[in-house]
Amino acid sequence: MTDAPDATRRDFIRTGAMLAAAALMPPGAVAAATSRGAMRDYLSQDATGLAALVKRGEVSAAELLELAIARAEAVNPAINAVCLQHYDEARAALQSIDPKAPLAGVPFLLKDLGVQLKGTVTSNGSRFFANRVATHTSTVVQRYQAAGLNIFGKTASPEFGQLPNTISTLWGRTLNPWNPEYSAGGSSGGAAAAVAAGIVPVAHATDGGGSIRFPAALCGLVGLKPTRARTPLGPDRSEGWAGLSCGHVVSRSLRDTALLLDLTQGPEPGAAYWPPAPAGLYVGELEREPGRLRIAVVTQSPLGSPVHQDCLDAVRKAADLCRSLGHELHEAALPDSFVRYTDNFGPLALVGVSLQIRDRARELGREPGADDLERVVLALYQQSARVGAVDYEAARQGIQRLGFAMSRFMQDFDVLLMPISPRPPWKVEDFTLDLPLDEFYASMTGCSDFTALYNCTGQPAITLPLHLNAAGMPVGTMFGARYGDEATLLRLAAQLERVAPWARTMSPLLAQALAG
């Protein structure tokens, strides 16, 4: 992303007075307060670029907020990405944003799952939580605010992040800005759709089995799942799903992904554990050459699922790019010990979700029913009572053994290159929670074979938008590194971004707005 041309900067200044007064307008009048030039300028920037404009005085935080709101009002009816609006809170927050903060005034969206913003609802995509107002702000959200980001809403998620698709009884279906027949992915599908449509350049996301990487892959974005415990989850919990789940962002630019990791990573007081500290700033890694890397190309699913040709094509394209850059590539297969790793994954995720539901039931003084929870989630909650303490501990130690096995495997490699999924881009209705439990499990077969592995081992993994299939849909490619080694991933990704700049490839919804 580049800084805005002078002509569009003048558009920003010319419309400044209207936008600064937009807080006094009725909601329907906000869009009229923006010029096409100012909106194009907003849409052309990543978060780093927008912050630079604010620091140079070429646009104000108030102007950016109203442009973001206008864009949301223009496209959200078509994609259903933003489920909760915090417009008034964001306008009030303008007075407290530190102008010296790294991302001062950049509009931002939180995922409606697992994080709290005091005074607002986090529904977790669930009717059971639809009216639960947060009494405090999560640590990672405090870090977003300290960075200067202005939170003006939350993005849709399936109930408790239980799908690689974003659909719920509470919020409805989220559609892909590339093609509304396709899923935006899940569970951070609302975040990815919002970024791909240009509502914001970067948005908060979480990942318990692929929920950052699936949506980023399906929406043509960058999606980094950081090392376990790299970013904070407190103060409500020290880890998510026994360490399977973590949080970061989806973005259109690698430099935003790196910068947001710099601004949010690191231990918080009371944390149970944290990974090794980075040697320097992650943004600085983008300028460093990765050297000649030993890259293992893995195309066989550890669970035995057949891998679709679209996914194989994406991996081969990425492999060819890496080879052309001088890296050493080797065809490889994962150790046999990784077969059926989901036997350990399932109980940990099940108990993690059920604990949240149980705590809410205690708050309300009643157990949930069919009018409170999706069909699958209610069945899982009821099933969780049969997971004993010994079973849970065995599963927790099982994923830890996978981490040791992966560490041994990666002694011979610096990076793993894999498909994001055995499946090609999926349609909106391919996954739902409105099924009997056995049918739900059957529908999910062969989806997260590759992604969930990294949640078990705790390693960082990133998906990059390097390939489109014959239907013109993005097919992500996933790279993984050793535990704690986001730096190698970012150096390699930056090298790939230079030779195959994905910023030129964007969703039709965003491209049309920039052209107009």
Q: How many domains does the chain have?
A: 1
Does the pLDDT of residue 134 top 90, yes or no?
A: yes
Q: Are strands 294-297 and 328-331 parallel, antiparallel or unpaired?
A: parallel
Is the residue at 1 inside a domain? Answer: no
Is the residue at 325 inside a domain? Answer: yes
111 catalytic per annotation: yes
| Residue 29 CA to its chain's centroid (Å) | 31
Is the residue at 81 inside a domain? Answer: yes
Catalytic residue among 44, 60, 111, 126: 111
Confidence class of residue 15 from pLDDT cuts 50, 70 and 90? very low
Confidence class of residue 20 from pLDDT cuts 50, 70 and 90? very low
Q: Which of 25-34, 369-378, 413-422, 438-447 has the lowest mean pLDDT?
A: 25-34
Assigned token pair, 169: 């009884």
For residue 424, whether the previous peptide bond is cis, meaning omega lies within 30 degrees of 0, is: no
Supply the Cα-derived Rg of the chain in whole angstroms: 22
Average pLDDT along the chain: 92
Identify the pLDDT of residue 190: 98
Is the residue at 2 inside a domain? Answer: no
Cβ 9 vs Cβ 60: under 8 Å: no
Is the residue at 469 inside a domain? Answer: yes
Query: At a CB cut-off of 8 Å and minimum separation 6, what does 409 contact?
Result: 334, 335
Query: At a CB cut-off of 8 Å and minimum separation 6, what does 233 contact?
Result: 114, 138, 139, 140, 239, 240, 245, 246, 247
Is the residue at 192 inside a domain? Answer: yes
Domain extent, residue 291, equals 7-266+275-515
Is the residue at 301 inside a domain? Answer: yes
Assigned token pair, 281: 């700033």
Cα–Cα distance between 278 and 263 in angstroms, integer? 12
Catalytic residue among 187, 188, 251, 354: 187
The DSSP 8-state label assigned to residue 474 in this structure reads B
* Distances from the Cα of 72 to the Cα of 38, 110, 464, angstroms: 15, 14, 25
Cα–Cα distance between 4 and 481 in angstroms, integer? 35
What CATH number is associated with residue 373?
3.90.1300.10
Query: At a CB cut-off of 8 Å and minimum separation 6, what does 97 contact?
Result: 61, 104, 105, 148, 150
Catalytic residue among 123, 211, 421, 507: 211
138 catalytic per annotation: no
DSSP state string for 219-242: TT-EEEE--TTSS--TTT-SSBGG
Closest to 422 in 3D by CA, of 407, 396, 444 = 444
118 catalytic per annotation: no
Is the residue at 138 inside a domain? Answer: yes
- Tens-place pLDDT, residues 462-499: 999 999 999 999 999 999 999 999 999 999 999 999 99
Cβ 327 vs Cβ 493: under 8 Å: no
| Partners of residue 206 on adjacent β-strands | 247
- Tens-place pLDDT, residues 284-323: 999 999 999 999 999 999 999 999 999 999 999 999 999 9
Q: What is the pTM of this model?
A: 0.93
